[in-house]
Amino acid sequence: MKKKILSIAIMATIALAATACAADEEEYGADSTVESGFEVSDDSKAEAEETSVETAAAETSVSEAEKTPEETKEPVKEEKPALPETDADFFVYEQKTDGTIKITDMKKDSALEVVVVPKEIDGAAVTEIGDDAFERYDSITTLVIPDSVTQLGESLCEEDFNLTSVVLPSNLTYLPSRAFTGCTSLASIEIPDTVTEMGYEVFMDCTGLTSVKIPDSVTEIGQFIFYGCTNLTSVNIPDGVKDIKGAFSDCSSLVSVDIPDSVEEMDYAFRGCSSLTSVKIPDKVSCLTETFCDCSSLTSIEIPDKVEWYSGVFTGCSSLTSIEIPQTDGWVDYQEFSGCSSLTSIEVPEGITDIQTYAFKDCTGLKSIKLPASLTGIEETAFEGCSSLEVVYAPEGSYAEEWAKAQGIKVEH
């Protein structure tokens, strides 16, 4: 090692001498000879420069090798210190038959902003938090529930208006009904991937909620789970979920959502979603009731055959320009297309026997309609307010033809 360093030093000295010669050459001209009595050639200069680079690299290599393991490690990001547990004296609790603790309430004089549920009380594990335990505590902004807790009660934090942050236990399997109903300051929440079921109205009227990621582990969500979440713009529905009744009613900022093929029930699912522009209904869906009522931005939709429609499915869909009614035995129900003012034409398929009250009420843009031979009845107010209706296409000799003539509407076959 010493010999190697000595050799490097000698080579460095030669390089320095060569540099000095080069400087003299600049001062006295290319043909001058320096006092040392020798002339530096171009090859010598190149060799000296190469040696100088090797010397610097060798010194750097030795310097890096001499560093301790601690010095060569990348800086570690500091984790935020855990919040201290809230003292047990702030809680009302009881011991369960298995010896663990169930928290049932907060002391009424508590005015805590940060609540960190302790893992243990009196040496026993806290495993359950009961119904309404933290309901209507306006002071709470942060709630941390430890992993020791495996069961949460209904209406856990209902109407905690200032709640902004929640940490749920990582082994939770069921998120209870109305757990965060009315928590208007809650903007986001992380749902553990151990959760398989979510109760009804869990996030109802959480008007500050903008996005939610439902883990793929969830196979069941309760009715009206996001009802009234007016600022919700994005949400996913995991594959395997079958029922989304009322799930997104009055989510007026929701623009689009992918519905998995597993879904079978979706009554009221998107009622009042005034920003929703398009949606595809899975083949397994069997019936629709007020599903898209007041979806005023909806322009198009695909509906599978053999779906039964009930009242108000498209009421108030004022931007809907076209719709294909599935061929089925039944009727056009009460207010089914009421207020669809952008519809210009529509075909009622063979098999429909009755058009009920206000079915096409105030479809002010409707100019033509095709009616089937199977039709046997049209309620008096079925086309009330259809001021632009000019022509009815109907089979010759059919009930539809007779009805159109009685209304003074042109008939074509």
| pLDDT tens by residue, 184-223 | 999 999 999 999 999 999 999 999 999 999 999 999 999 9
Mean predicted confidence (pLDDT) in 361-385:
97
Q: Report yes or no: 306 and 328 within 8 Å, Cβ to Cβ.
A: yes
In a domain, 60, yes or no: yes
Say yes or no to pLDDT of 125 above 90. Answer: yes
The residue with greater pLDDT, 176 or 330, is 176
In a domain, 79, yes or no: no
Q: How many domains does the chain have?
A: 2
Say yes or no to pLDDT of 29 above 60. Answer: no
Q: Is the dihedral of CA 267, 269, 275, 276 positive or negative?
A: negative
pLDDT attached to residue 73: 54
pLDDT attached to residue 355: 96
CA dist 172 and 160 (Å) reads: 21
In a domain, 230, yes or no: no
Mean predicted confidence (pLDDT) in 39-60:
49
Mean predicted confidence (pLDDT) in 232-253:
96
Say yes or no to pLDDT of 5 above 50. Answer: no
Inter-axis angle of helices 42-65 and 2-28, nearest 10: 140
Q: Report yes or no: 307 and 326 within 8 Å, Cβ to Cβ.
A: yes
CA dist 142 and 324 (Å) reads: 50
Say yes or no to pLDDT of 63 above 70. Answer: no
Task: Choose the final residue of a domain: 15, 36, 66.
Answer: 66
CA nearest to 366, candidates 379, 384, 351, 353: 384
pLDDT attached to residue 70: 53
Among 45-49, 88-92, 371-375, which stretch is predicted with the lowest mean pLDDT?
Answer: 45-49
Among 58-67, 115-124, 220-229, which stretch is predicted with the lowest mean pLDDT?
Answer: 58-67
Say yes or no to pLDDT of 14 above 50. Answer: no
In a domain, 84, yes or no: no
CA dist 308 and 327 (Å) reads: 10
In a domain, 18, yes or no: yes
Mean predicted confidence (pLDDT) in 177-181:
98
pLDDT attached to residue 271: 97
Mean predicted confidence (pLDDT) in 26-44:
43
The residue with greater pLDDT, 12 or 287, is 287
pLDDT attached to residue 32: 41
The boundaries of the domain holding residue 23 are: 2-66
pLDDT attached to residue 79: 56
Distances (CA, A) of 167 to 48, 83, 114, 116, 147: 65, 12, 12, 9, 10
Task: Choose the final residue of a domain: 40, 66, 92.
Answer: 66
Say yes or no to pLDDT of 56 above 70. Answer: no
CA dist 413 and 411 (Å) reads: 7
Mean predicted confidence (pLDDT) in 308-324:
90
pLDDT attached to residue 329: 67
In a domain, 187, yes or no: no
Percent of the chain with pLDDT over 70: 80
Say yes or no to pLDDT of 94 above 50. Answer: yes
The residue with greater pLDDT, 324 or 339, is 339
Domain at 356, CATH number: 3.80.10.10
Mean predicted confidence (pLDDT) in 162-186:
97
pLDDT attached to residue 66: 53
In a domain, 348, yes or no: yes
In a domain, 9, yes or no: yes
Task: Choose the final residue of a domain: 66, 81, 105.
Answer: 66
Say yes or no to pLDDT of 399 above 60. Answer: yes
Q: Report yes or no: 198 and 218 within 8 Å, Cβ to Cβ.
A: yes
pLDDT attached to residue 304: 83
pLDDT attached to residue 78: 55
